[in-house]
Amino acid sequence: MAAYIIWIICLPALVSAGMMLWLSRCSAHAGNRHYSLLSIIQAAVYAGIGLWLANLERPLVLSGSGYFYSDTLAVYEILVTTGVFLLAAVYARGYVASLINQEEIDASLLPVFYGSFCLLELVLILGFLSNNLALLWIFIELSTLLSAVLIVTLKARENITAALKYVFVASTAMLFSFMGIIILFGLSQGTITGGSLNWTDLMAGAAGFNQRAFNIAFILMLIGFGAKSGMAPFHTWLPQAYAKAPSAVSVVYGAVLNLGLYAILRLLALGRQTADASLVSTSLMAAGMLTLGIAAFSLLTRTNTKKVIAFSAVEQTGLTLIGMSLASPLALFWVVFNLLAQPVTKALLFFSAGIWHRQYLSNKFTAVFKPLVLQPLASAGLVTGVAAATGVPLLPVFLVKFNILTGLAQQPLLLILALFFFMVAAGGMGYYLLRCFSQAESQPAPAFNTPLSMKVPVIICLILLAILGVFLPPWLSDMIQTITLELGLAA
């Protein structure tokens, strides 16, 4: 049975994408409601599959070839991803309807939009379940392609430029990763019979790897997977892609970023099995600080709400990389927790920004007026989201920042630098909100009647953030501790 689970996982997305294609070709009446319903059903089924996987024994080989398997980290990521997709699918129902009304998307492109959305979820899940590094590489590449298609479904020429930048920057960096994978395979041939790219085999054989060659392979792989997770200086695709994509898509990019960070976390675990992981830690720290610094200063001059959120995502990638570089059990616990806290925070921000965009038909702060009167829920969402992203106490990212900074205490210079960057970033985001809420009314406009499907995800994210900020459920804590144990990163 276990050997066929991977086929069961593929089925919902393939069926829904196939049905969408069939509807588009055979039914003249198919519209947003039908495609949206299919995508919601699919997302709900995947959320169910995530819960089912969480209740199965682990680690579990999911295919006869051994190329797919599930361990606690994979299941954790799948739970986060499917949760985000379910909320985004619900949100898309009202959001896309509004885009059609405003003629910002051509109704005939709905099958392409929803089909890519459904397949993207499958590709991410398969990426998390890949036991094989080359397969993971291919799924990350596929996620880039599907994300790019989702960007260009909107009627705007700048979206084509954004998609091109995304494809070329991410794919070029991923080719460097592939070179690293080739070197790693060559190294594995020295310690594993016939060589292997399976995580399980590599972890077992890593102790015998030549250190210098592994370090080069690690740096090359970090370039590709880092680019995918928004690591500087390969983050240049991210702000434009986040800003130009429809908000329902920007939300799921949080899960795409997680796939890159997931790969880096696996590489870190591998690096810790080698004789000397000092270069691994140093390169992660350097990349993290650079990412944090660039994001912090970029936040100071933004004029576009979605770009502010995008640079906040880059900042969080920097924080996560710094946490990984510390490699202490405490820091890694909160790094893994951040893989949940961040997508929820970003989802809240993008859902709220999407409602603002429907209200003002622009993402620029200059277009915003009377936000608390016209869109109180979205305004509360943005304020709470920004507070969470900057690390205000009683919200979950505070715990992450506090514990990672505590880990930096033994390196005072780096601690001061990180604190300075966090303050600059917080100042930039706070100043942006201040400008949004202090704009004079340019011309009276009616309030956008926000559909329930767009409000519910905002409310759920608000509740989740409020809970996670003050209470860590024991099952979640156990799960994260198991992850650090399974990765060989616990004390």
Partner 1 sequence: MNEVMLSTEIIRILLVLILGTAVLVITQRSLSSLFSIYAIQSLLLAVLALVLFWQEGIASLLLISMLTLVSKVIVIPVFLRSVLRKISIKRDLEFRFLTPISSIMISALLIFGVYHVFFELRNDLHFGPLFLLGAVIGVSLALMGMMVIFSRRKVITKTVGYLTMENGVLLFGLFVADLPFIIEVLVLVDLGMILVLASLLAFGIDSSIEAFHERLRNFGLDVEE
Residues 6+ apart with CB under 8 A from 311: 239, 295, 298, 299, 302, 425, 428
**Rounded least distance, CB 142 to partner 1, Å:** 7
**Rounded least distance, CB 240 to partner 1, Å:** 14
**Rounded least distance, CB 469 to partner 1, Å:** 40
Position among 109, 204, 300, 383 found at the interface with partner 1 (CB under 8 A)? 109
Position among 98, 153, 304, 403 found at the interface with partner 1 (CB under 8 A)? 153
Residues 6+ apart with CB under 8 A from 105: 96, 99, 113, 153, 154, 155, 246
The residue (of 131 and 153) whose beta carbon lies closer to partner 1 is 153
Q: Which range, of 133-141, 299-307, 336-344, 394-402, touches partner 1 by CB under 8 A?
A: 133-141
DSSP annotation of 301 reads: T
If binding means CB under 8 A, how many residues of this protein chain bind partner 1? 42
The residue (of 135 and 464) whose beta carbon lies closer to partner 1 is 135
**Rounded least distance, CB 69 to partner 1, Å:** 17
Contact in structure between 465 and 384 (CB atoms under 8 Å)? yes
Q: Which range, of 27-35, 76-84, 142-150, 259-267, touches partner 1 by CB under 8 A?
A: 142-150
**Rounded least distance, CB 401 to partner 1, Å:** 35
User: Residue 363 and residue 354: Cα distance in Å, rounded?
Assistant: 9
Q: State which of positions 161-220 bind partner 1 (CB under 8 A).
A: 161, 163-164, 167-168, 171-172, 175-176, 178-179, 182-183, 185-187, 189-190, 195, 197, 210, 212-213, 216
**Rounded least distance, CB 125 to partner 1, Å:** 18
Contact in structure between 254 and 84 (CB atoms under 8 Å)? yes
**Rounded least distance, CB 320 to partner 1, Å:** 26
User: Residue 127 and residue 182: Cα distance in Å, rounded?
Assistant: 19
User: Residue 313 and residue 230: Cα distance in Å, rounded?
Assistant: 8
Query: Any idea which residue has 């608390």 for tokens?
Result: 372
Position among 87, 120, 149, 252 found at the interface with partner 1 (CB under 8 A)? 149
User: Residue 84 and residue 58: Cα distance in Å, rounded?
Assistant: 23
DSSP annotation of 439 reads: P
CA 334-339-341 angle, to 5 degrees, is 80
Cα–Cα distances in Å, from 176 out to 173, 282, 314? 5, 20, 21
Helices H, strands E: what count in the chain?
19, 2
User: Residue 7 and residue 39: Cα distance in Å, rounded?
Assistant: 19
Position among 108, 410, 443, 449 found at the interface with partner 1 (CB under 8 A)? 108
**Rounded least distance, CB 147 to partner 1, Å:** 11
Query: Any idea which residue has 């930096």 for tokens?
Result: 408
Position among 5, 20, 118, 152 found at the interface with partner 1 (CB under 8 A)? 152
* Strand, helix or coil for residue 364: strand
486 binds partner 1 (CB under 8 A): no
Residues that bind partner 1 in the complex, under the rule CB under 8 A: 106, 108-109, 112, 134-135, 138, 141-142, 145, 148-149, 152-153, 155-157, 160-161, 163-164, 167-168, 171-172, 175-176, 178-179, 182-183, 185-187, 189-190, 195, 197, 210, 212-213, 216
